Amino acid sequence: MNQILSEQEWQSALDAFRVKEKEHTRIRDALNAERRRLPMTQISKTYNFTGPNDKVSLLDLFEGRKQLIVYHFMFAESPCTGCSMMVDNMGHIAHIHARNTSLVLVSLAPYSKLAAYQERMGWDTPWYSSEGSDFNRDFGATREDGEMFGVSVFIRDNDTIYRSYHTTQRGAEYLGSNFSYLDLTPMGRQELWEDSPEWVSQTPPYQWWCKHDEYGGD
């Protein structure tokens, strides 16, 4: 057991610790601001995926939105337990869509396996197979020692696609809420308090929030 204190002593200890938590938040905000300004690289190679509507392209995965977040789900032979926990903790996708961003899962396994497991788990997040393409290897999800999980972020200018960010290991471990996924993107949460590039349109915080069944057009 940890040390037991009186209520007043406990509150004093909590207040002292809160100072460190606030500093951590400010450091994280500054890191997110720097991430939003990272350079990008153009994607010139063509990739094809298999989904519920047969073959689609990387551009199709955007579904007309400006940004795309890909979670590289480890499923070469069988579904990864850790990746399954990650998807269990993803927020409702409507909140991601509300910020002009799409979120999809991509795995090496044949689409039939993905669809069966998705039904079993009750997930709504779109899931695509990269079987037969170089996508997994080109984006760090397949290595010499096997398949690897991670997150890749893309942004498009009309039909031209750029990759802006990638993380794996502990960098992906903390992700859970929709906010944390949006924080990985060049446009962020698109709220006025954020330190973002000048080209990012922003709105007041909270005002874009809706219950997931109240968003229009998605």
Q: Residue-wise pLDDT tens for the chain (218 aa)?
A: 778 999 999 999 999 999 999 999 999 999 999 999 999 999 999 999 999 988 999 999 999 999 999 999 999 778 999 899 889 989 899 999 999 999 999 999 999 999 999 999 999 999 999 999 999 999 988 877 778 999 999 999 999 999 999 998 877 777 877 888 888 899 999 999 999 999 999 999 878 888 777 787 65
Q: Which domains does the chain have, with CATH numbers?
A: 36-182 (3.40.30.10)
Instruction: Give the CA radius of gyration of the chain.
Output: 19
Would you say the pTM of this structure is higher than 0.85?
Answer: yes
| Single-letter amino acid, residue 42 | Q
Query: How far apart, in whole angstroms, are the C-alpha atoms of residue 159 and residue 170?
Result: 32
Contact at 8 Å (CB) between 75 and 163?
A: no
- Cα–Cα distances in angstroms (integers) from residue 45 to residues 35, 59, 133, 179, in the given order: 24, 11, 11, 30
What is the enclosing helix (H) or strand (E) of 56? strand 54-57
